[in-house]
Amino acid sequence: MATRKATAAIIATATCTGVGGFFFGLSFKDRDRFLVHAQLKDVLQPSSLAPPANSTAAVFDAGALREKNSMTSPSSSPSPTAVATVGPHRVSEIMAYGFPTTDYVRSRSDYVLAYDRKNRNALWVAEHLTAERLLDRTKVSRKLSAFQEDQSVHPYFRSTNEDYRASGFDRGHLAAAANHWVSQDSLDETFFLSNISPQVGVGFNRDAWNTLEKYSRDKAKSNRSVFVMTGPLYLPSLEQDGKHYVKYQVIGPNSVAVPTHFFKALLCQSATGEFHMECFVMPNKPIGSTIRVTDFYVPRDMIERAAGFLLFEGLPRSALKTMNGRKV
């Protein structure tokens, strides 16, 4: 086990070089016994930007929901392609603590995402989990769901099933299918390819990532509710020439990007109303079965700096009691 001094040095190095350098600098054997504990630094600043202007009924008005929830997160101009597919009430529940970005937002019946048209992946996917909404529904069946193109995305920027064919990668969910058994429609919507990323199958999507998804549901069952943010990352690695490069594979005729890592952030509200946050980054590669999900704890600002947006910015700092199990 690394000493406190060595741990502090590793965290400092990770902050300077980026999350990618941090993860690629540790072997799986090291990560198996290394647990990051770091307090969140105060990097949130009040917004000086005006909320988006009112838009038509066909446009998802994230600014209006932000104002409704008395949030102050920065926003950019709303995208004309940010299509609403569900009423504002459920969206306002899911996004109660802020939109990380407001361009190309898609709202489904039980989750919300922002789409990255360049990489043909989501930027982020937001969910709101409760024990009641996770109850098994006997009339809901995953066998009735099928992976399908997101028709709300322009054909130039969509991923398709053909992109994944013989690629060697699983079609990995960001909003997990098992989180949305509240109705067949909600389950089916998790199979839109805008909610899917290329993931290594054995050792990751079917194992470590699945374990993290189960961990998230367990948290929802033991808390009043859990707000989940999930997304891909494209992180730098140190090459033999001593320089850092961001390199990632693309697959299929539409050049769908294969993320190097994935993040998941859990904002848990306890039965007494206290808030606790846990943040994880996992590499998109086979991970040993003995590694605990908590071995992938990272400070929130590592995700934010790498992803380019803030997480749960609408939550007052005074309301957060713990970060990755440590008091803040």
Set 37, 89, 173, 244: catalytic member:
173
DSSP 141-197: -GGG---B--TTS-GGG---HHHHTTSS-EEEESS-GGG-TT-HHHHHHTTBGGGEE
Neighbours of 176 (CB within 10 A): 24
Give yes or no: 173 in active site: yes
Run of H or E residues at 221: helix 208-221
4: CB partners within 8 A, 6+ apart: none
Sign of dihedral through CA atoms 207, 236, 41, 101?
negative
Q: Which of 304, 314, 303, 279 is nearest to 293 (CA)?
A: 279
Q: Which of 280, 256, 253, 255 is nearest to 266 (CA)?
A: 280
Catalytically active residues, by annotation:
173
